[in-house]
Amino acid sequence: MSFRKRNIGLSPGVDRNAVPNATAQPVPESTPGIRPSPDDGRPTTSTGTRSLDNLLAGHAGLPMGKLLLIEENGTTDFAGALLRYYAAEGVVQEQKVHVIGVPEQWGRSLPGLIGSAESLDEKRSDRRKDDRMKIAWRYERLGEFGAVAGSRGAPTTPGEQDAAAKEAPAFCHAFDLTKRLTHPSITNMSFIPIVPSKDSPFPAILKRLETAITSSAADTIHRIVIPSLLNPTMYPPDACQPANVLQFFHALKALMSAHTTRVTAMITMPLSLYPRSSGLVRWIELLSDGVLELCPFPHSADAMATSGAATSQEEPPQGMLKTHRLPVLHERGGGSDQNVGQDWAFILSRRRFEIKPFSLPPAEGDTEAQDASAAGGMPKKSDLDF
Amino acid sequence: MPSQPPLPPLLAPYVSTLPDSSLTLISSILGATSNWLVLRFLYAALSSASPNAAFGLDELQNGAKKKVVLVSFMRSYDFWKTEAKRLGLDLTRLADKKQFAFVDGLSELFYAPAATATPASVSPAGMGSSPRTTLPMRSPPGAVPGRSPQPVRPTATAVRGNLAKPAESGIAKKLHFTGRGLASLDALEADISSVIEQQKSSMEDGDELLLIIDQPDLLLAATSPSMGIGATEMAEWITGLQQRAHATVLTLATDAPLIHNASTMSGQLATPIETEHAALAIGLAHRARSVMQLRTLDTGAAKDVSGVLRISRGGGMITEEDNLEEREALYFIQRDGGVKVFGRGES
């Protein structure tokens, strides 16, 4: 790290000099759920999934005005879980959540709030503290802004982290999928139905979004949630005409860039119906700011997946996650982030959606060999005792 | 980390000298976007005046002053402004000095916000001249001799358009897509050329106008052949604009699904969006003087390489003595926006 003077100690007091630079952006400090990006200071909001936040090119959140597209292969609904976290986070932060195309039932099935994501992490790390080897306590939280294990993302410094932790105590929350969210502002969600019509359903949706955003107070933050876009059970057949859906995406992009500090959007799409190798999907991706693809492991791969965990304490990954495009980073040219091009695995458990680097398990035979050696191969201490 | 010069030396000859009536095609893919390269073109064209002014050399000495018209279909003016600022270009100031004009093809192209939308009844779809009537005049005040008065325009519309939103500084015009088929393309062309003419009106002899169109292929993708817009129409549309400018730079998406699905080899049934896109991209590559292809590394991601830039001659090399050197280089976008362009094995 040649940009830092070497003879200056790593104390938070020194490093804090860098922070005002980052926070100088016109971010309304009082807005809950918004914090400046540690990378370039633009306002970001949480996706409701801490490890997804950390994946987004060093911004530790979804930059405002950006649209994240999550594609999923197969018939599972992991993307739907991510979307529910995103919507639930919006409800908890008292942002205005617009859900498109699904009945209000969807809003009642949002996962229940446990607490802030930090508190959950604390608990977990307490539990694991004993069996974790301490290398250097001082570096322990170093990667925390980009806290996915192994990625020591952007030039984050302890000073920045501390400042951020104080500034935004509850930027991201933890949710429990088995519980139901009860929050006073849950009634504030708006559901925009798809009106069956002969023409494209999208102009009507856009009109409602546009009036909702322009008519709201200037400090209201909006989240646009579109579950399972172009799913034929919800959308009329004409909707997937390129002219309709691409104009919708373009207009949505225009709407979001007009209110760039107040809107974020997350959209999921079933890839089994609309494969990535088609021109239409590629154009949808080109029009999105961030593109993630979820590839759940098939059930037959359970055996492989089980051993995919590096240790027995870790849960086995349930699928792979590919990052095709990340907000802001790729708009500017892309490439320099360490999160790009890595293999990611995801684990969805009751309380969290975790994204971490995927690593192949040790060779299958080894465990047997280890077991054998543990059982009888190694001489016991008593045997060695003279 | 030493800061990079705004224009990497390896890239400079390719972005700064563009012969007359040449077409440069920049092709990009999902993971390797072209915005940084467009910005380098902007920089090469617009920054040259300022250092000369600093040295006291006026335009008298350095005759060719360049002007740029940037038409962007995918990105907002804010994005270009902030990114250009990183290079030390103040687009708003340049727009005031009439060196730069931005044509906004994003914000109101397909869906005009209610505030500025004109009632649909005013412009029945399909009439050739109707889209022009819906356009709010947002051109900066100044001499506009090249423009003919339009008798069809209801004055109320124009006034309303102006009042609805305070003119955003720097945006010369917002494009609106209305109507169908050729008529709508013609209307877009008329709008863009009106901005070009406006820029030209303040030009002296020897000045050059660079036209940059960012992703016109969106128009093709987001319409359909049934609307009467196909690759041929788009290519003609581009030619029409090209005629008015000294040099033209185009960016196109050339992701594999958009190019290769169209061929019969792929075994897949190609959809119109794919065939038309491939036809447009390949047709333009044949007309272009040079093709600058951006792609990601074939071998996967790397920490210090963003992608590969391949510069090759297009089918439209004008003269023999035009010695464009073909080359392939790696590029790396730093976090501060600086770009390194280097050969393989160098750093």
Interface touch A250/B277, C-beta < 8 Å: no
Please give the pLDDT value at position B291: 93
Q: Which site among A156, A259, A324, A332 would you substitute to test the B interface, given the most B Cβ atoms closer than 10 Å to its Cβ?
A: A332
Torsion over CA of A323, A328, A329 and A332, rounded to 10 degrees? 130
A147, A122 contact by CB (below 8 A) = no
- Show the domain range for A336: 12-360
Chain A positions touching B31 (Cβ under 8 A) are: 324-325, 330, 334, 340
Segment B125-132 shows an average pLDDT of 38
Both tokens of B130, joined, read 């109707």
Give pLDDT tens digits for A295-309. 998 865 555 544 444
Residue B142, CA distances (Å) to A83, A244, B98, B198, B201 in order: 50, 39, 10, 9, 10
Chain A positions touching B335 (Cβ under 8 A) are: 39-40, 154, 336
Give pLDDT tens digits for B52-108. 444 444 443 344 678 899 999 999 999 999 999 888 889 998 888 888 999 999 988
Chain B positions touching A242 (Cβ under 8 A) are: 221-222, 224, 271-273
B25, B311 contact by CB (below 8 A) = no
DSSP assignment of A184-235: GGGGG-EEE-----SS-SHHHHHHHHHHHHHHS-TT--EEEEE-STT-TTTS
Nearest chain A residue to B256, by CA = A277
CA–chain centroid gap for B73, Å, is 8
Give yes or no for A1 touching B (CB within 8 A).
no
Burial classification of residue B74, based on how many CB atoms lie within 10 Å of its CB (0-12 exposed, 13-18 middle, 19 or more buried):
buried
Interface touch B257/A278, C-beta < 8 Å: yes
Nearest chain A Cα distance for residue B61, angstroms: 36
Point out the residue among A40, A260, A277 whose CB comes nearest to the CB of B78.
Answer: A260
Nearest chain A residue to B2, by CA = A3
Chain A positions touching B331 (Cβ under 8 A) are: 333
Chain B positions touching A258 (Cβ under 8 A) are: 76, 107, 113
DSSP code of A68?
E
CA–chain centroid gap for A17, Å, is 29
Classify residue A240: in a domain, yes or no. yes
A224, A101 contact by CB (below 8 A) = no
Q: Specify the pairing of strand A67-72 against strand A222-226.
A: unpaired
Interface touch A210/B222, C-beta < 8 Å: no
Q: So where are chain B's domains? A: 31-271
Count the domains in chain A. Answer: 1
Both tokens of B8, joined, read 């990497």
Count of all residues that appear for chain A in the document: 386
- Torsions phi, psi for B171 (to 5 deg): -90, 115
Chain A positions touching B301 (Cβ under 8 A) are: 335, 340-342
Nearest chain A Cα distance for residue B307, angstroms: 7
**Where do we find the tokens 């792609």?**
B295
- Contacting residues for A127 by C-beta, under 8 A, at least 6 apart: none
Segment B336-347 shows an average pLDDT of 84
Q: Is A114 helix (H, G, I), strand (E, B) or coil?
A: strand
B63, B206 contact by CB (below 8 A) = yes
Both tokens of A134, joined, read 């301490």
Both tokens of B274, joined, read 């794919």
Nearest chain B Cα distance for residue A256, angstroms: 9
Point out the residue among A154, A207, A332 whose CB comes nearest to the CB of B36.
Answer: A332
Chain A positions touching B272 (Cβ under 8 A) are: 242
Given a cut of 80, whether residue B134 has pLDDT beyond it is no
Nearest chain B residue to A342, by CA = B301
Give yes or no for A108 touching B (CB within 8 A).
no
* Better pLDDT: B152 or A307: A307
Chain A positions touching B300 (Cβ under 8 A) are: 341
Residue B261, CA distances (Å) to A230, B170, B212, B271, B274 in order: 21, 40, 28, 8, 6
CA distance A37 to A63: 8
Chain A positions touching B309 (Cβ under 8 A) are: none
Chain B positions touching A238 (Cβ under 8 A) are: none
Please give the pLDDT value at position A316: 81
- Write out chain A's pLDDT in tens, 386 residues: 456 555 555 544 434 444 344 434 444 455 778 888 887 888 999 998 888 998 887 788 899 999 999 999 988 889 999 999 999 999 998 899 999 999 888 888 899 888 777 666 666 655 555 555 555 555 555 445 544 443 343 444 444 444 444 444 578 888 888 888 888 888 888 999 988 777 788 989 999 999 999 998 888 899 999 999 998 888 988 888 888 899 999 999 999 998 988 999 999 999 999 999 889 999 999 999 999 999 998 865 555 544 444 445 567 888 999 888 888 888 887 765 666 667 889 988 888 888 888 877 666 555 555 555 555 555 555 655 55
Give yes or no for A338 touching B (CB within 8 A).
yes
A79, A207 contact by CB (below 8 A) = no
CA distance A278 to A140: 44
B153, B174 contact by CB (below 8 A) = no
Burial classification of residue B24, based on how many CB atoms lie within 10 Å of its CB (0-12 exposed, 13-18 middle, 19 or more buried):
buried
Residue A308, CA distances (Å) to A321, A323, A347, A360, A368 in order: 14, 20, 11, 6, 16
Interface touch B111/A203, C-beta < 8 Å: yes
Give the domain CATH number at A99: 3.40.50.300
What kind and span of H or E run contains A159? helix A158-167
Residue A356, CA distances (Å) to A114, A225, A318, A365 in order: 22, 25, 11, 25
Give yes or no for A23 touching B (CB within 8 A).
no
Please give the pLDDT value at position A19: 39
The identity of residue A384, as a single letter, is L
Classify residue A382: in a domain, yes or no. no
Interface touch B261/A278, C-beta < 8 Å: yes
Classify residue A245: in a domain, yes or no. yes
Model ipTM? 0.81
Nearest Cα to Cα of residue A65 among A45, A47, A83, A51: A45
Nearest chain A Cα distance for residue B188, angstroms: 16
Nearest chain A Cα distance for residue B107, angstroms: 4
Nearest chain A Cα distance for residue B1, angstroms: 6
Nearest chain A residue to B275, by CA = A279
Both tokens of B300, joined, read 């996967």
Residue B107, CA distances (Å) to A249, B112, B177 in order: 12, 8, 11
Classify residue A151: in a domain, yes or no. yes
Q: Specify the pairing of strand A344-348 against strand A353-357.
A: antiparallel
DSSP code of A124?
H
What kind and span of H or E run contains A270? strand A263-270
Please give the pLDDT value at position B51: 47
Question: How many other C-beta atoms lie within 10 A of the C-beta of residue B226?
Answer: 12
Classify residue A278: in a domain, yes or no. yes
DSSP code of A382?
H
B233-254 b/e (C-beta count within 10 Å ≥ 16 → b): bbbebbeebbebbbbbbbbbbb
Chain B positions touching A341 (Cβ under 8 A) are: 300-302
CA terminus-to-terminus distance, chain B: 13
CA–chain centroid gap for B214, Å, is 3
CA distance B93 to A211: 33
Angle at B253 between CA B252 and CA B257, to 5 degrees: 145
Segment B174-189 shows an average pLDDT of 86
CA distance B273 to A242: 7
A259-268, B57-66, B141-150, B226-235, range with greatest mean pLDDT: A259-268
Both tokens of B114, joined, read 């209610």
CA distance A257 to A217: 17
In chain A, % of residues over pLDDT 90: 25
Nearest Cα to Cα of residue B306 among B294, B324, B288: B294
Interface touch A281/B307, C-beta < 8 Å: no
CA distance A88 to B317: 57
Classify residue A3: in a domain, yes or no. no
The identity of residue A8, as a single letter, is I
Q: How many CB pairs under 8 A join A and B?
A: 158
Q: Output Rg (C-alpha) for chain A, integer angstroms.
A: 23
Given a cut of 90, whether residue B27 has pLDDT beyond it is yes
Q: Which site among A67, A156, A250 would you substitute to test the B interface, given the most B Cβ atoms closer than 10 Å to its Cβ?
A: A250
Q: Is A384 helix (H, G, I), strand (E, B) or coil?
A: helix
Q: Specify the pairing of strand A344-348 against strand A319-325.
A: antiparallel
Q: Which site among B34, B38, B110 would you substitute to test the A interface, given the most A Cβ atoms closer than 10 Å to its Cβ?
A: B110
Interface touch B335/A39, C-beta < 8 Å: yes
Query: Quick one: three-class SS letters along chain B?
Result: CCCCCCCCCCCHHHHHCCCCCEEEEEEEECCECCHHHHHHHHHHHHCCHHHHHHCCCCCCCCCCCEEEEEEECCCCHHHHHHHHHHCCCCHHHHHHCCCEEEEECCCCCCCCCCCCCCCHHHCCCCCCCHHHHCCCCCCCCCCCCCCCCCCCCCHHHHHHHHHHCCCCCCEEEECCCCCCHHHHHHHHHHHHHHHHHHHHHCCCCCCEEEEEEECCHHHHHCCCHHHCCCHHHHHHHHHHHHCCCCEEEEEEECCHHHHHCCCHHHCCCCCHHHHHHHHHHHHHHHHCCEEEEEECCCCCCCCCCCEEEEEEECCCCCCCCCCCCCEEEEEEECCCCCEEEECCCCC
- Torsions phi, psi for A323 (to 5 deg): -105, 115
Point out the residue among A214, A282, A340 whose CB comes nearest to the CB of B255.
Answer: A282
Classify residue A375: in a domain, yes or no. no
Nearest chain A Cα distance for residue B345, angstroms: 18
